[in-house]
């Protein structure tokens, strides 16, 4: 099946990356995110605010054609929870929508960055907001959430991407404990 191609007000052609008029194309389609974020994918992000660093981990479970359940928690660098694990269902289009920004305030580019995951070719989105510019780097090899976010109040960076085995109930090991 050929993807729909349509022209939008900023003159770019799209293959499912533009979710609404006046918005820049997203870095990935919902389908690309679905294929990349398979069951058991665990993403650990380090958030730096001032001198403090905290870690947040998300695991993708029970994915299907429409969406996925996200298990999330605060924890240690190794992904071990230090508090409750929350579960929330999201559609693939909702996850894609997290990277849908107004064209008028978004500068797109490409850049190779080096960090905890090594050297990554990225799509860079610099989004101007009232409180300052927030820049997102999306690794082309890892469709899904950004691997780095830098803004006026904090810096977030993915420090680990792993696939964890499923536990006896069919969910990730964390939910089974």
Task: Note the pLDDT of residue 166.
Answer: 62
Mean pLDDT confidence for 95-111 = 97
**What pLDDT shows up at residue 165?**
75
- The most confident of the ranges 92-96, 152-156, 167-171 is 92-96
* Terminal alpha carbon distance of the chain: 43
**How far, in Å, CA of 75 to CA of 87, rounded?**
15
Put residue 176 in one of left, alpha, beta given phi > 0 → left and psi -120 to 50 → alpha: alpha
Above 90 in pLDDT, residue 143?
yes
Tokens of 142: 């890892």
- The region, left, alpha or beta by phi > 0 then psi within -120 to 50, assigned to residue 118 is left
Supply the pTM of this predicted model. 0.84
pLDDT tens across 14-68, in order?
468 999 999 999 999 999 999 999 999 999 999 998 888 999 999 999 999 999 9
Neighbours of 106 (CB within 10 A): 18
DSSP three-state, residue 93: helix
* Local structure of residue 163 (DSSP, 8 states): E
pLDDT tens digits, 77-99: 888 899 999 999 999 999 999 99
Sketch the domain layout of the chain as residue ranges. Answer: 30-164
* Token pair of 114 as six digits: 């080096």
Class of domain 30-164: mainly beta
**pLDDT by residue (tens digit) across 12-26?**
444 689 999 999 999
């Amino acid at each position: 099946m050929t993807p729909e191609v349509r022209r939008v007000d900023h003159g770019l052609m799209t293959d499912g990356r533009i979710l609404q008029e006046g918005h820049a194309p997203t870095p990935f389609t919902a389908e690309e995110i679905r294929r990349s974020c398979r069951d058991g994918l665990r993403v650990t992000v380090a958030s730096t605010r001032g001198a403090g660093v905290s870690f947040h981990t998300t695991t993708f479970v029970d994915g299907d054609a429409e969406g996925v359940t996200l298990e999330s928690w605060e924890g240690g660098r190794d992904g071990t929870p230090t508090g409750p694990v929350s579960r929330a269902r999201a559609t693939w289009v909702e996850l894609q929508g997290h990277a849908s920004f107004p064209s008028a305030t978004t500068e797109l580019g490409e850049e190779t960055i080096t960090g905890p995951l090594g050297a990554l070719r990225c799509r860079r989105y610099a989004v101007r907001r009232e409180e300052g510019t927030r820049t997102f780097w999306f690794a082309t090899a890892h469709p899904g959430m950004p691997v780095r976010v830098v803004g006026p109040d904090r810096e977030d960076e993915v420090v680990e991407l792993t696939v964890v085995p499923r536990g006896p109930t069919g969910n990730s090991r964390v939910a089974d404990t």
